[in-house]
Amino acid sequence: MRSFSLVLLRRLLFRPSPQHTSNSVATTLYDHLSAQTLATLERLLLQSVAHEPVPVVRRKAADTVSDVANHAMRNGRPWHALQTEIFKLVHSTDPMGREIAYRVFTSSPNIILDLQVESVLGTLQRGLEDRESTDVRHPTTYPGP
């Protein structure tokens, strides 16, 4: 049920609003959320990505986090807490946590654009050389829900 909820959340957040006309810029529900609501949503998504025990749900949470991050960055709203959490997951002892981190990097590469090149290269190399998990070395992303 949590997995399905995350899929629905993504669909609802990023569906063009019905008031959209052919001459105007498409807006979504996400574009109309208050700063406080966005902060709460982001906090809950980070919690899910970091601590969800069911792998399928955690992967859906990562996909949702990536979509929210991409939309936020397109709107000029970087998500610095995501960077922090993803780098924590890269160094996690849990292979699933590391897989999730690289899944987010794969789906939302803009989160590392403003970081130092040496740091980014070291982080990516660490994932490519992970000896414990093939899923970390080769995170798979799936388009759409």
In-domain check, residue 8 = no
In-domain check, residue 114 = yes
Q: What does the pLDDT look like over 22-65, one tens digit per residue? A: 556 678 899 989 999 999 999 999 999 999 999 999 999 999 99
* pLDDT of 143: 44
In-domain check, residue 113 = yes
Distances (CA, A) of 66 to 21, 24, 58, 108: 27, 26, 12, 5
Question: Rounded mean pLDDT of 115-122?
Answer: 71
Q: Which amino acid is at 131?
A: R
Nearest to 86 by CA among 68, 112, 67: 112
Q: How many domains does the chain have?
A: 1
- Tell me the residue range of the domain where 124 lies: 34-137
Using the CB atoms, write b or e for 24-63: b if 16+ within 10 Å: eeeeeebeeeeeeeeeebbeebbebbbebeeeebbbbbbb
Q: Which amino acid is at 142?
A: Y
In-domain check, residue 132 = yes
pTM, full prediction? 0.79
In-domain check, residue 144 = no
